[in-house]
Chain A
Amino acid sequence: AQRVTQPEKLLSVFKGAPVELKCNYSYSGSPELFWYVQYSRQRLQLLLRHISRESIKGFTADLNKGETSFHLKKPFAQEEDSAMYYCALRGSQGNLIFGKGTKLSVKP
């Protein structure tokens, strides 16, 4: 089965604290994984993809095939990071399979 699991519905941290949003996947073969973000009153948009190995807005995500994980991390959270974060997996048919999302709340 092809599946994305985000175990936390809500994650609340203080400004300046490290943050890790968890994502686990189920896929046979080489996965293609993404993180999408939806800020308040904005469209859902791509944050980063694992093949680019990039850091966007201070966020990074490393694919761990052994643990089938693709956790999103940032060393020092900012208030503007508060948003809904979705982990996504490209399915074998080409569509994108999304997790249920984690709402990140960064308190001042």
Chain B
Amino acid sequence: GAGVSQSPSNKVTEKGKDVELRCDPISGHTALYWYRQRLGQGLEFLIYFQGNSAPDKSGLPSDRFSAERTGESVSTLTIQRTQQEDSAVYLCASSLGSGAGELFFGEGSRLTVL
């Protein structure tokens, strides 16, 4: 479809393993956002890409978290040496630009760290 696509939709991993979460934004959207939603909590900002500008990484909780984006296309969020507190739904969103207002969200990737 034409919406934001995230994979995998569900991931169960063991503590200490690395995981990669993928986001395919809507074609033409220059801005891409990653958020984390822990059970019973709100949306926690992680990282924001806007065109060719340096990403805003101010929300990444530790150096175990990193994200990359290929041009204005796919983004990958990597969590190294996962911990149980990393268990959450990771949401990706894209928008036409930083001033566009409306973010279009994916369905999220549910990560469970055992």
Which B-chain residue is minimally distant from A84 (CB atoms)?
B42
Candidate in A6, A96, A97, A98 with the most chain B CB atoms within 10 angstroms = A96
CB distance from B1 to the nearest CB of A (A): 12
The contact string, 1 if C-beta is below 8 Å from chain B, for chain A 30-60, is 0010101000000111100101000000000
Q: How large is the interface on B (under 10, 10 to 19, 20 to 34, 35 or more residues)?
A: 20 to 34
The contact string, 1 if C-beta is below 8 Å from chain B, for chain A 1-12, is 000001000000
Candidate in B31, B43, B48, B107 with the most chain A CB atoms within 10 angstroms = B43
Question: In B25-61, which residues have CB < 8 Å from any A CB?
Answer: 31, 33, 35, 41-43, 45, 48, 50, 56, 58-59
Q: Are A100 and B103 in contact (CB under 8 A)?
A: no
- What's the Cα separation between A43 and B3 when bound, in Å? 10
CB distance from B19 to the nearest CB of A (A): 22
Q: How many residues of A contact B (CB 8 A)?
A: 21
Q: Report if A100-B41 is in contact (Cβ < 8 Å); known contacts: A43-B106, A43-B107, A94-B98.
A: yes
The contact string, 1 if C-beta is below 8 Å from chain B, for chain A 77-99, is 00000000010001001111111
Q: Are B105 and A44 in contact (CB under 8 A)?
A: yes
Chain A residues whose C-beta falls within 8 Å of the C-beta of B104 in the assembled complex: 45
Chain B residues whose C-beta falls within 8 Å of the C-beta of A86 in the assembled complex: 42-43
Chain A residues whose C-beta falls within 8 Å of the C-beta of B45 in the assembled complex: 95-98
Q: Are A98 and B98 in contact (CB under 8 A)?
A: no
Q: Which residues of B contact A (CB under 8 A)?
A: 3, 31, 33, 35, 41-43, 45, 48, 50, 56, 58-59, 91, 93, 98-99, 101-107
Q: Nearest 5 CB-CB pairs, A to B?
A: A94-B98, A100-B42, A98-B43, A95-B48, A44-B105
Q: Which residues of A contact B (CB under 8 A)?
A: 6, 32, 34, 36, 43-46, 49, 51, 86, 90, 93-101
8 extra interchain contacts, Cβ-Cβ under 8 A, other than A43-B3, A90-B101, A95-B59?
A43-B107, A86-B43, A93-B58, A94-B50, A94-B56, A98-B43, A98-B45, A101-B42
